[in-house]
């Protein structure tokens, strides 16, 4: 027995009716419209990819900055101290012949070195001009 033709099939009793997505041939106008849409959408996708890459670079740079700030804050917490600008005085210790770098906030010596001849002479002159005693 031969298979029924499409027209014959349509004339058989219907048991159920539903809608499915099935392939349908495009008309020439539909084909042209889809081709244009595909080209435009592909171009838009490439533009969005480029934008995404740019934003990703910006975000990565921002993340690096935030992580650097977090590291500084963590170090301050860990050390219970942080770098800050502090005035440093260089004073002459004539007894020892040294130039001493002193923190103005705490008075602690942070470095020592030998006085140059010019520094020694200048310090002795200041001591004569402004006696401490």
Between residues 92 and 126, the one the model is more confident about: 92
pLDDT digits (tens, 9 = 90+) for 14-27: 888 888 998 999 99
pLDDT digits (tens, 9 = 90+) for 64-77: 999 999 999 999 99
Pairing of β 88-93 and β 109-114: unpaired
| Cα separation, 33 vs 37, whole angstroms | 6
The predicted pLDDT at position 4 comes to 87
- The band of 113, judged by pLDDT with boundaries at 50, 70 and 90, is very high
Sign of CA dihedral 74, 75, 80, 83: negative
In terms of pTM, does the model score above 0.95?
no
E strands along 1-133, which residues? 88-93, 98-103, 109-114
Using an 8 Å Cβ cutoff, are 59 and 66 in contact? no
Q: Where are the domains of the chain?
A: 26-82, 88-128
For residue 133, pLDDT beyond 60: no
Strands 88-93 and 98-103: antiparallel
- Total length of the chain: 133
Q: Phi/psi at 92 (nearest 5 deg)? A: -100, 120
């Amino acid at each position: 027995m031969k298979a029924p033709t499409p027209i014959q099939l349509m004339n058989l009793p219907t048991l159920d009716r539903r809608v499915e997505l099935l392939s349908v041939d495009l008309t020439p106008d539909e084909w042209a419209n889809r081709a244009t849409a595909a080209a435009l959408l592909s171009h838009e996708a490439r533009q969005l990819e480029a934008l995404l890459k740019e934003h990703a670079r910006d975000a990565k740079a921002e993340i690096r900055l935030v992580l650097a700030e977090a590291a500084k804050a963590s170090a301050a917490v860990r050390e219970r101290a942080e770098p800050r600008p502090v005035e440093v005085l260089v004073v002459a210790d004539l007894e020892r012949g040294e130039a001493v770098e002193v923190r103005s906030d705490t008075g602690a010596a942070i470095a020592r070195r030998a006085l140059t001849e010019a520094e020694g002479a200048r310090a002795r002159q200041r001591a004569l001009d402004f006696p401490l005693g």
